[in-house]
Amino acid sequence: MSGTTRAATAALALSEATEQLCAASVADARLEAELLLAHACGIDRAHLIARLKDPLKPTTIAAFRRLLARRLAHEPLAYITGCREFYGIDILCGPAALVPRPESELLVDLALAEVRARGAALRIADVGTGSGAIACAVAAHAAAARVCAVDVSSAALALACRNVEALGLGGRVDVGQGDLLGGLGALDVVVANLPYVSESEWCGLQPEVRDFEPREALVAGIAGTELNARLLAQAPAHLARGGLLALEMGPTHARALSAVARTHFPGASVSVIKDLGGHDRVLLVRQGEEARWRTTT
């Protein structure tokens, strides 16, 4: 914003901020400006829209400027406001974990469909839980379900614990540290959004992602398929008869990971689900009813 006189009302502050965000190539510049100003005012966006002609206090303008400067430096909006809506619930966000993405809601849909079809007593795991978004969304929408939320990162797990507590899901989401499925027993549903960016892709990611989100939450290795392939190798020892494994993957990984899945699950049905953008996004493995499993514990 150029000065306090021009930006005296919310409407003026928003139009100036929108221009600046557009110039910085921020998509949805107007929406983001509104969310930042609402955050600076301590109100929600609907209330802000209802008060566009109200004058802003100097302290609010100063706070908005600070938030806007962070966004203009390409810090993700969710890190600035500390929150992101995911599957109808508010997830606390911070630099310890990836900001939950809309495409990952597909994993929640799949887990909830499974609960509806087979009952809430299913043993469900969210591997690479990060902020805990997927585990919390499943538990929040399936009243009796219990979910194990696992990650290697203790910083991410601290955030996941805050989300579990804030959403009142303690006792239904068990947060624990582990490497993939190691330490878990038999499971009926495994959902995982593990890192799937390749080393070479990482440099070309947008600054919001590359410069702010944890690299270890994004990059899997040289190919990008490494962690999902390792999970597929571990999973036969854990997935119960008739169980479901749903892995989010990079849009070019379907063929390679389907081949890995067929090697480790010879009797299973393996399929690929596209996201709303039409990209291959989730690898689905349905363990055959006749398949045998053994626990590792």
Ligand X SMILES: C[S@@+](CC[C@H](N)C(=O)[O-])C[C@H]1O[C@@H](n2cnc3c(N)ncnc32)[C@H](O)[C@@H]1O
134 near ligand X, judged by CB under 6 A: yes
Torsion angle in degrees (nearest 10) through CA of 137, 138, 139, 144: 150
User: Out of 26, 34, 87, 100, which residue is the one contacting ligand X (CB under 6 A)?
Assistant: 100
Q: How many residues bind ligand X (CB under 6 A)?
A: 24
Rounded to 10°, the helix 105-118/133-141 angle is 40
What minimum distance in Å lies between the beta carbon of 107 and ligand X?
Answer: 8
250: contact with ligand X by CB under 6 A: no
Q: How far is the CB of 54 from ligand X (least distance, A)?
A: 36
The window from 5-13, 20-28, 121-129, 139-147 that contacts ligand X (CB under 6 A) reads: 121-129
104 contacts ligand X (rule: CB under 6 A) = yes
169 binds ligand X (CB under 6 A): no
Options 73-81, 117-125, 147-155, 252-260: segment touching ligand X (CB under 6 A): 147-155
With beta carbons less than 8 A apart as the criterion, state whether 260 and 229 touch: yes
Identify the residue whose tokens are 């494994």.
Answer: 245
Return the residue of 76, 130, 236, 250 that touches ligand X, per CB under 6 A: 130
C-alpha of 50 from chain center: 31
- Angle in degrees, 0-180, between the axes of helices 29-41 and 10-23, rounded to the nearest 10: 130
- Does residue 228 touch ligand X according to CB under 6 A? no
**Which residues of 27-104 form beta strands (DSSP E)?**
83-86, 89-92
Using the rule CB under 6 A, give the single segment among 69-77, 93-101, 113-121, 259-267 that binds ligand X: 93-101
CB of 18 to ligand X, least distance (A): 28
Give the one residue of 144, 183, 216, 263 binding ligand X; rule: CB under 6 A. 216
Q: Which is nearer to ligand X, 41 or 181 (CB)?
A: 181
Q: Which of 106, 180, 118 is nearest to 145 (CA)?
A: 118
Contact between 152 and ligand X per CB under 6 A: yes
116, 245, 255, 117: which is closest to 193 by C-alpha? 245
Binding residue for ligand X, selected from 128, 224, 243, 250, defined by CB under 6 A: 128
- Under the binding rule (CB under 6 A), the answer on residue 287 touching ligand X is no
Give phi and psi for 220, each to the nearest 5: -100, -25
d(Cα 1, Cα 15) in Å, to the nearest integer?
9
Nearer residue to ligand X within complex by CB, 38 or 128:
128
Q: Which is nearer to ligand X, 92 or 217 (CB)?
A: 217
Sheet architecture: strand order including 269-274? 173-177, 146-151, 123-127, 187-192, 239-248, 280-286, 269-274
Q: Please state the closest distance from residue 169 (CB atom) to ligand X, in A.
A: 15
Burial classification of residue 57, based on how many CB atoms lie within 10 Å of its CB (0-12 exposed, 13-18 middle, 19 or more buried): exposed
180 touching ligand X, by CB under 6 A: yes
Q: Please tell me the distance from the alpha carbon of residue 167 to that of residue 170, in angstroms, as a whole number.
A: 8
Binding site for ligand X (CB under 6 A): 97-98, 100, 104, 127-131, 133-134, 150-153, 156, 179-180, 193-195, 216-217, 227
